Every structure is written in structure tokens, then in C-alpha cells.
Amino acid sequence: MAWVLCSKADVMSIHPVTETDLRDEWSEMVESLIREHLDQPYLGTSSVIENEYHNGDGTNLLRVSKPPIISVQAVYISDAQITASDYVIFGDHIALKSEKFPRGNLNVRVYYTSGSSAITGTVRMTASAMVVAIINYRRTAGTDGSLRWSDREQKAGEDTPNANIGLTSHLVRIMRQLLKRQRVRAR
């Protein structure tokens, strides 16, 4: 499904291109890269996840495999369903209020709806910029393989400028600069 994270009008507003020149597969590729980068496979869409099994670990938190969570239909612990008032739903996990998930192998099962219909301006801009990068690469017929998409000065700990060459590294760089992934802090 193309043109979910950005529209053709978004791309045309930042780059002089006609609507007929924009290909759906470019949008599909860019959106796939963004969803993978953000670890949100259903960003811009939604899907019902059924029978997702987890190991109980003795804590009250259960991280789902395909965040973000829109709604939870059911949570089972050892085939006993717990009520909706017994847990709280967060973006990427479910937290039990008064009990813990007992330790066990595949003893927790959840049914939930994953995805997000709200697309932030940052995601729209990133998708649009990535499509423009593909357009520019296509217009030069790949001759920009010798161009370096990097800073002129190398800073300590960065890749060498020669490592940042070509379309794929340019697309990854756009994502890294504009889209920040959530990080877990350990205390």
C-alpha cells in the first residue's frame, strides 16, 4: 500500500516533479525502510495480532512483538483470561496492576491491535525527503556513486567519508538524522 506515510503532494511541495513521475514502488520501499528503522511494522496502518505467545518472567511488564499497541482484546495467563481492569496499556507493553506474569515457558498469550493512524510531520518529511533522494539518484542515472554524502570533516568515532557513498547510505543517513528511535535506559 503506497503513499501512506507521505503523499505525492508532500513530495511535489519540496521538489519540482510531476505526479506522473512518482512511482508507487518508491513509496513502498521508503515506507518499508522507515517502518523497519522505527521498529513499527504497522505504522500508518493497523493489524490484529492473534495468539502472540510470551514467556512469563516474574515481572508485571509484557513487551509485545509488534508495537505500538492500539488496543488489547485479551490477555491470557496459563489459559485463564484476565480482565481489562487488571492491566494498563502503554505504547509497546502491557503492565499488570496488582500481579505479575508467573515464570513459565509460553504461558502468556495476548490478542491486540497494533499500528498507528497518526503520522507525525517528521515521518512525513522523512518519507518525502527519501523519495526525493531516489528521484535525484534516478535522474543522474546512478552517476552520483562517486559523490560523498558526508561531512567534509571526519569527527572522532564516525565512519570515514568513503564509507558514506551512494543511494542506500544516503537514505539511511536521512532516517538517522530525522527519525529518532526510542531507547531503553538501564539504571
User: Does pTM top 0.75 for this prediction?
Assistant: no
26 occurs within a structural domain: yes
Residue where one domain finishes, among candidates 61, 87, 115:
115
Encode pLDDT of 98-157 as tens digits: 999 999 999 999 999 999 878 999 999 999 999 999 998 888 765 545 555 545 566 676
One domain for residues 123 and 101: no
Domain carrying residue 84: 46-115
d(CA 142, CA 154): 25
For residue 90 the three cell numbers come to 502503554
User: Could you tell me the sign of the dihedral formed by the alpha carbons of 63, 109, 94, 60, in that order?
Assistant: negative
One domain for residues 111 and 55: yes
